[in-house]
Structure 1
């Protein structure tokens, strides 16, 4: 059996009249004349199929049908009010869920401060944080499974995505402490030509991989890659075992490993970029809020 639709204005009129039990008082409270109020009640009674009020001279009372309907009518109006308030909060960027992808190494730089500031400003927003390398973040943005990306070395151009650089940092040489070059304060890239390298796979960060190998090429050699690792922490751990050396963003120095040395490299002009990424056609106000937070609180450089 199909359920009758009960228009909310009629429910509102019904609840007010049920509380006042006086047509004149109810009409004044609703800001309408008595005839329109009577019409609303009659239409609702027609939909229910039974009288909701007993009308006697000088007296209005709820019928058994009206008493049964009243709690449900109040719940419907309360649910609507709550829903409208929640929708307004989401629409204004005060509540909701924001899905953020981040490169693991950014937990050593921009991520903690950015999330702390955002949570202080918008405590009603649920942050869904997902650790992802650069290439998966780009794919997730296109697939709309994340709203914001925090990544290293974004692609040169993406028609559907926007990118904003929020941090640049130099590269450092990552060496086992037993490596002869670990005794030096700075290392020339050419001095690493005979050492095996531990690097991230190109598939997880093509631009960063190409930048590192390009630096080696400019220094006169092609790096001999002995091992790949998906995360910088793993790269450093493999370097510690003596499997090879690496070039990494300077913030990696915050990973404390007793048997790993981090040394400045020469020339020191090459820097890696950290960027925030988003879909250009995304009108989610939370994305705008986070981008504004990044602009207002630029991260400290390493």
Structure 2
């Protein structure tokens, strides 16, 4: 048995007439003349196969079929109104889901503030978070696995647009018992003969090259003896005496036992954090997130 297709204008007319129980008042409320209202009701009755109203001089009443239909008609109209409101919210970037990649160390600095500010401004947008180093974020953007990424250093990719989020100084990461840990500041050149623990270049080529560039400016290439993907691991290996490292200043917040963080001299080395997204993505959800980034997370 096929189900009859009920037109929403007919359901609307039916609900209004059921509430008014008067064709003149219902027509006025709908902003139509009485004949078109009567036609809508007759078409609906034809689809139902039964009369929905009894009509006697001076009185209109619902039939049993009409009383049965009324709650379902109201639900259908309410569901449509809710659906339209939800669609408008998504279309305006006020609701939906945005997939955000982020470098793990940013959870120590800018990420919490951005998340709070975004939640305050867009409470109905769900952020799906994925912790990824920079290179996997770029790959996930190309594969449409994430919508926007927070990564260290501009990936210089023609298919991606970027926006600066913040800039961090580099600091020296030393075993707490290291002779240089007694200094208030550490000259980069004084690390020339040290073993280094660094992130693998594949995790973020441009960020890795930024670190090695700091060393090159001081006249040496770092002698890398250990590599680790995450900064807590890098710092733990430094604390175990396996070497030293250079890290973004925010990594100091890890406060690991046996590890000392010292500012560098000259104090010129910086790493930039950027938001990156696909140039062909017109998503209003993305635009909302970038507006929060542009406001500095405030």
Fold match (TM-score > 0.5): yes
How far did 1:298 drift? 6.3
Cα distance in 2, alignment partners of residues 25 and 298 from structure 1: 53
Check the 8 A contact 1:190/1:219 in 2, yes or no: yes
Match of 1:183 in 2: 182
Match of 2:213 in 1: 214
2:37 corresponds to 1:40 = no
Cα distance in 2, alignment partners of residues 248 and 169 from structure 1: 10
Match of 2:27 in 1: 27
- TM-score, with structure 2 as normaliser: 0.93
* RMSD, aligned α-carbons: 1.9
Cα distance in 1, alignment partners of residues 221 and 150 from structure 2: 29
SS in 1 for 2:128: strand
- TM-score, with structure 1 as normaliser: 0.91
For residues 132-147 of structure 1, the aligned pairs below 5 Å read 132-147=132-147
2:295 corresponds to 1:296 = yes
How far did 1:221 drift? 2.9
2:186 corresponds to 1:194 = no
Match of 1:160 in 2: 159
Cα distance in 1, alignment partners of residues 58 and 265 from structure 2: 97
Match of 2:12 in 1: 12
Match of 2:51 in 1: 51
For residues 234-273 of structure 1, the aligned pairs below 5 Å read 234-273=233-272
How far did 1:96 drift? 2.4
Cα distance in 2, alignment partners of residues 260 and 27 from structure 1: 79
Q: Unaligned stretches of 5+ in structure 1?
A: none
Cα distance in 1, alignment partners of residues 43 and 143 from structure 2: 48
2:195 corresponds to 1:171 = no
Match of 1:103 in 2: 103
How far did 1:97 drift? 2.4
2:216 corresponds to 1:203 = no
For residues 64-83 of structure 1, the aligned pairs below 5 Å read 64-83=64-83
2:264 corresponds to 1:278 = no
Per mean C-alpha deviation after superposition, the further-off stretch among 240-249 and 208-217 is 208-217
SS in 2 for 1:194: coil
Q: Unaligned stretches of 5+ in structure 2?
A: none
Aligned residues: 298
How far did 1:141 drift? 1.9
